[in-house]
Amino acid sequence: MAEIENIGACVFDAYGTLFNVNSAAAQCQDELGDKWMPLSQLWRDKQLQYTWLRSLMGDHYAPFWQLTQDALDFALEAHEIDNPALRQKLLDIYFELDAYPEVPAVLSKLKAAGIKTATLSNGSQDMLDAAVGSSGIALDAVISVDPIKVFKPDFRVYELGCEVLGVSKEQVCFMSSNGWDAWGAANFGFKVVWINRSGQPLERLPSGPGHILSDLNGLPPLLGL
């Protein structure tokens, strides 16, 4: 596999790439029983749908934390769960999601090599800061869409990453576990590695990632580290 060269920054999507979006429901299995995974999946699906729909509907931006709560309320009602205490517990855990096991070591290798690291996420700034802080990972920048009030895959989000980090799009190696995000970033002009954690098929979209990995462990070798 050919190495990725001339990289000034490694930029990561947050949810599903650095942080495990299923960990909140997984920690509530005693209360949710066999509904925990279906609920977690529906919660995530609606969360993403609301970002796209609000962007397409025009001037209807709302912070990702609000969308996260709206999506959870939809999922709870769909599964006929009426439990305010459980709802709050799920939200409290989601605010400080666990990082995937390989993330700290991979970020350390990149830092040791002098490569800038950042997360570029639809997440609200307070959500991202809390997750980064609680997981103990170190990044050069934690970039939220909050300042520009539009969600990925709008090109303005990827441009924001370049502006904050002071690099051109050709110098960015971008990682996402979300196929739609990986394809969007590649179409923008980033060098993209799709972290396909769940073995999804290729998206039927223009452009596409240059590399596909099952987790982040393969990233340093791709960069010649």
Residues identified as active-site:
13
Nearest to 8 by CA among 94, 110, 96, 146: 110
Distance CA 126, CA 40 (A): 21
Residue 68: name the closest of 118, 133, 117, 130 by CA.
130
Give the closest residue to 29 by CA, choosing from 13, 40, 44: 40
Tokens describing residue 87:
């709802």
For residues 8 and 197, give the distance between their C-alpha atoms in angstroms, rounded to a whole number. 25
HSE, CB side, 13 Å, CA atoms: give it for residue 134.
17
Task: Please answer whether residues 131 and 107 qualify as being in contact, where contact means their C-beta atoms are separated by less than 8 angstroms.
Answer: no
> By C-alpha distance, which of 33, 69, 77, 34 is closest to 50?
69
The answer to whether the beta carbons of residues 119 and 12 sit under 8 Å apart is yes
* d(C-alpha 206, C-alpha 42), whole Å: 27
CB 38 within 8 A of CB 52: no
